[in-house]
Amino acid sequence: MVTVSQPAVTRDRLRQLQSVGMLCGFGAGAWLGAAEAPTKLVTLGLQPVVVSLLMVVGVFLARWSIPALIRGTGQMTWDFRQAPHLVAWAVLAGCLWSVANTLTIFAIRDVGLSIAFPLWNMNSLIGIFWGVTLFNELHHAGARRWLSVIGGALLMFIGATVLAYASAAQTTAEHTFRGIVAALAAGVLWGTMYIPYRKAYLTGMNPLSFVAFFTIGELVTMAGLALAHSGGLEVLRQQLASAKDVFFWLLLGGFIWVIGDLLQQYAAKYLGISRGIPLSNTNQLWGVAWGILVFGELRRRGPLAYAEVIGGSLVMAAGAGAIALSSVEGDEHGKWYEAAQRESTRYKVASEYVQAGLAGAEVPASSETAVRRSPLDWVIVICTTAIFVGLAVIARLPVLSLSWPSVFVLTGVLLIFLIACGTALWRITRFS
Amino acid sequence: MDTNPTLLRSLLTDLHFWIPVLVLLGGLAVLRWIS
């Protein structure tokens, strides 16, 4: 067992990694929040599990095509050869995500969004708990950083509650107890899903490789749940057939969500789950912004609703700001290094690979042997593009009054985040 | 590279592994109960 803390990277390097993690956390919030927008265009009476299944299909396509384009499947295979046990962790995380996502559908149905959202949004508090107890996060961090992270997460929780209350169109309370249990369970599942995340990134895994196997668990579980809850294969087939002209919007929602999720994975890798996850939970701010500015969701509500939204947003932003200011210093990073060494010893992963992962660098062997694109990579990218183009051709845009200037402004913000995060990740970590 | 049986033993004896497994089973039980 390793008992001596030692910094795995220099102070300057740590500062760089913290900055890129922070940027990715905020970028993740913007992209995850925007992922809801395309699904709002779907007004058919589809069962919620079918909507989820179609989004997960888009997620699956994105989770293979984006890594294939950026690094190539050869690199992904090489990564998992270094730490093959992480395949099981990735699939397990995907299963947790799908069950949690389905629980949220039932929670919204039974108690409404305003009650359900804050309950499952406590996932970041659970993530902090696991980060501290299992992975040495915030150890040797000092009282000020503890206060910033815990206080910031609590502020975000309060802000999220106010926002959810203000933005919910209606609340139903037919099965209150059942809905509350479903929402709490979803929060616990999502919060626990960060254990596999942290396990993977302390071991040195690349996020682009991890998500490709994550999505296998996600798609298989979601398909099983959709079959079970839609009433059988024939009913599911009929639902899918009736929805073919909205496939594009749902798959697009899944694709946008994956970009946000990838940035969240990088934030979790470089900031840890106790800081990365709360920052990416700013997605609710962006979801509300799309809802109000583009879809006019508060149009018939009084000034009180606007006051609640502004107040909730400010509280949430203050919480995110507090977390962003509590960057990891050398002593705490030394404790991360101990946790990483523990993984390396247990699973017999080369310590060179683990150290390179912590330092945001590539192991030299990986870039020499596996980074070249293969024909398979291009087949994946071309097939995904063809599927999206084909579905876009048959897609129907519902007659909705949208604020197009707001669409352009918010899309511009998304692109700025994407370019900034992509450039920083490339310059500082080469997407490792 | 490690052999698979050893790797499997490392996984199954890792307390961290059983936390998400138990939470997943709990989540499935809740789902079954509410639907």
Amino acid at A104: T
A353 assigned to some structural domain: yes
Say if the Cβ atoms of B7 and A229 lie within 8 Å.
Answer: no
A1 assigned to some structural domain: no
The nearest CA of chain B is from the CA of A96 a distance in Å of 6
Say if the Cβ atoms of A100 and B35 lie within 8 Å.
Answer: no
A14 assigned to some structural domain: no
Evaluate if residue A160 carries a pLDDT over 50: yes
The nearest CA of chain B is from the CA of A161 a distance in Å of 23
Does A182 contact chain B (CB < 8 Å)? yes
How far apart, in whole angstroms, are the C-alpha atoms of residue A73 and residue A191?
Answer: 29
A&B contacts, CB < 8 Å: 78
Does A199 contact chain B (CB < 8 Å)? yes
What per-residue confidence (pLDDT) applies to A177? 85
Report the domain count for chain A. 1
A6 assigned to some structural domain: no
Evaluate if residue A2 carries a pLDDT over 50: no
What per-residue confidence (pLDDT) applies to B29? 96
ipTM of the complex: 0.92
The domain in which residue A183 lies consists of 19-429
The mean pLDDT value of chain A amounts to: 87
Residue of higher predicted confidence among A174 and B35: B35
Confidence of residue B3 (pLDDT cuts 50, 70, 90): low
Q: Enter the DSSP assignment of A244.
A: G
Please give the average per-residue pLDDT across B1-25, as a whole number. Answer: 87
A5 assigned to some structural domain: no
Evaluate if residue A301 carries a pLDDT over 60: yes
Cα dist from B19 to A38, A266, A343, whole Å: 35, 23, 16
A424 assigned to some structural domain: yes
Evaluate if residue A400 carries a pLDDT over 50: yes
Say if the Cβ atoms of B31 and A102 lie within 8 Å.
Answer: yes
What per-residue confidence (pLDDT) applies to A43? 60
Sequential DSSP letters for A298-359 = TTTS-HHHHHHHHHHHHHHHHHHHHHHT----HHHHHHHHHHHHHHHHHHT--HHHHHHHHT
| SS3 state of residue A361 | coil
How far apart, in whole angstroms, are the C-alpha atoms of residue A216 and residue A213?
Answer: 5
A9 assigned to some structural domain: no
Evaluate if residue A205 carries a pLDDT over 90: yes
pTM across the whole model: 0.90
The nearest CA of chain A is from the CA of B2 a distance in Å of 7
Does A193 contact chain B (CB < 8 Å)? yes
How far apart, in whole angstroms, are the C-alpha atoms of residue A56 and residue A222?
Answer: 7
What per-residue confidence (pLDDT) applies to A173? 55
Say if the Cβ atoms of A178 and B16 lie within 8 Å.
Answer: no
What per-residue confidence (pLDDT) applies to A328? 87
Instruction: For residue B1, list chain A residues with Cβ-Cβ distance below 8 A.
Output: 81, 84
Does A189 contact chain B (CB < 8 Å)? yes
